[in-house]
Every structure is written in C-alpha cells, then in structure tokens.
C-alpha cells in the first residue's frame, strides 16, 4: 500500500484482511456495505479467483451486490439461501459490549436482516469508531415516505422522554433531495450525542408508526476486528471473552483499492 493511503485507510484495510480468515470454503456469507466492507469483498473476490474459494454471498445493498459480481463472487438472495453461516460488516460506532450504530451508508434495514439471519456476525472497524457509550454518531432511523414528517414529529416527542443529550432530527439528503434506501424509504438521522439506554430507545423507536427499523444493533455482533494504521489488529470475541492481537502485512497490490468509496 502506498503512502497516499491515510492511517484510517490502512486500519480499515487490515481489519478487512483479517476478517476474511473467518470465511471457509462452502460458506453462506453475508456481505456488508461501506468502504471497509468493500475492501473485504474485493479480498474475497481475489480468493475466489486465485484460490478457488466457493461461497454463496448475500449482499446487504445493491452496491455491494454489484461489487461482488464484479469481482466474481456468486450472489444470492437471502430467500434463496435461507440462513447464513457468517456475516461480515462494518460499523459507524461500537461500544465495549459490541453494541453498534450502523446505517451511515443507508443500508441499515438489509444489514440488520442479514446479520440476524447469521450464525455469526463479525464486525470490521478502525479504532476511531470505538466509544464508551453509543450516540456520538447520528443514529439512522429508516422510515416510510408516507407521512414522514408526522413520523419525525412523533420521534422528536419520544426523545423528550428518554435519556439522551441531544434531540435534533434531520432528514438525510442526497443531491439536495431526500435520500432513498434500496427499499425506497427515507432516513432520519437522530443527533443524540449520548444514548444512556440503547435497548430502551430501540424498543421505543420501533413502536412509532412509520418507523421501519433503527440503526442500533444490539446483542447481534459476536466478534469485532479492529484495525490500526500501523498494521496492528485486535480481535475481540464477545462470546469467548478473548482478545487477540497480531500484525498484518499492509504491502499489497494497490489495484485492490480501486473504485472503493465511502
């Protein structure tokens, strides 16, 4: 990897590289969405091409599906596969118990469905996403378009009754228009700063009419691979209570990084 890549880029890369070690031949694998997950997909594509790895992949977004096809991975729907051995995905924030905020890329609904339909979820992240308490990253909430402003008002009312530091709610835009998810929904971003009781908030939000799903991933992740800019990785397994540390070679073919966007 050349010096033009930042320490964050390198951290994401080594996390993704270490995570592909979880994938065995014949597995049914959920493929996450985002820049770190995109590197993981490209690495799996190299294994498919160069080492004959055979997997059935279920992407969590249209753009991940296209990338997987581009690198030669066989893509299936969740309905075709039914259940997954493993999902590898990124996170916008994670706490010491491996609870997550996800949805910065707009794919939270499909990501949560795929992750919960898996025997194991492995999170890939750089160390900057680590927090003691969730909430610094805006919490995405996917809502139906019909009556979305009413849904927004109901969410704001709910926030006045829960223990959070902020209560601003904004509609996510793309090119000056409401961003549409792959399922045709809108996303509201909740700028909460700190969430004292994530489990309570998740339950409350999902009871609001018009809310499809929220970006709190609680008790879903089994392990996390945390990358550092100097090539170090830390693997935390929440089920075994283990922490492993190792060094990953980051001198790789730069073609792996072409066309990857946040």
34 belongs to an annotated ligand binding site: yes
Whether residue 244 lies in the annotated active site: no
Query: Is 54 marked as a binding-site residue?
Result: no
Whole-angstrom distance, CA of residue 232 vs CA of residue 249: 9
* Burial of 177 per CB tally in 10 Å (0-12, 13-18, 19+): exposed
Is 36 among the annotated ligand-binding positions?
Answer: yes
102 annotated as ligand-binding? yes
Q: Consult the annotation and say whether 118 binds a ligand.
A: no
229 is known to lie in a ligand binding site: no
> Can you point out the beta strands (E) in 96-250?
100-101, 121-126, 139-143, 168-171, 173-174, 177-178, 186-191, 211-214, 216-217, 223-227, 232-237, 242-247
184 is in an annotated binding site: no
Instruction: Report which of 191, 98, 189 is spatially closest to residue 136, judged by C-alpha positions.
Output: 191
Annotated binding-site residue? 193: no
Of 111, 196, 213, 261, the active-site residue reads 111
Residues that constitute the known binding site for substrate: 33-36, 89-92, 102-105, 129
Residues that constitute the known binding site: 33-36, 89-92, 102-105, 129
Instruction: Give the active site residues.
Output: 111
């Amino acid at each position: 990897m050349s010096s033009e890549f930042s320490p964050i880029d390198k951290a994401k890369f080594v996390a993704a590289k270490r995570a592909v070690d979880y994938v065995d031949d014949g597995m049914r694998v959920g493929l996450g969405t985002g820049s770190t997950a995109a590197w993981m997909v490209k690495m799996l594509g190299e294994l498919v091409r160069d080492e004959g790895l055979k997997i059935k992949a279920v992407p969590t977004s249209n753009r991940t599906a296209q990338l997987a096809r581009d690198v030669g991975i066989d893509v299936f729907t969740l309905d075709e596969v039914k259940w997954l051995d493993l999902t590898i995905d990124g996170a916008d924030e994670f706490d010491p118990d491996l609870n997550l905020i996800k949805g910065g890329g707009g794919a939270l609904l499909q990501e949560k469905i795929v992750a919960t339909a898996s025997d194991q979820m492995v999170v890939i992240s750089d160390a900057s996403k680590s927090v003691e308490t969730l909430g610094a990253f805006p919490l995405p909430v996917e809502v139906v378009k019909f009556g979305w402003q009413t849904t927004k008002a109901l969410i704001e009312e709910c926030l006045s009754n829960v223990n959070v530091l902020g209560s601003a709610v904004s509609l996510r835009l793309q090119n000056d228009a409401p961003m549409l998810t792959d399922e045709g929904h809108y996303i509201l971003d909740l700028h909460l700063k700190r969430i004292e009781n994530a489990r309570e908030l998740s339950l409350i939000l999902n009871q609001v009419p018009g809310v499809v799903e929220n970006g709190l991933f609680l008790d879903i992740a089994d392990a996390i691979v945390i990358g550092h800019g100097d090539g170090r990785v830390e693997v935390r397994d929440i089920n075994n209570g283990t922490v492993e540390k190792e060094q990953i070679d980051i001198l790789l073919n730069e073609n792996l990084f072409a066309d990857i966007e946040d």
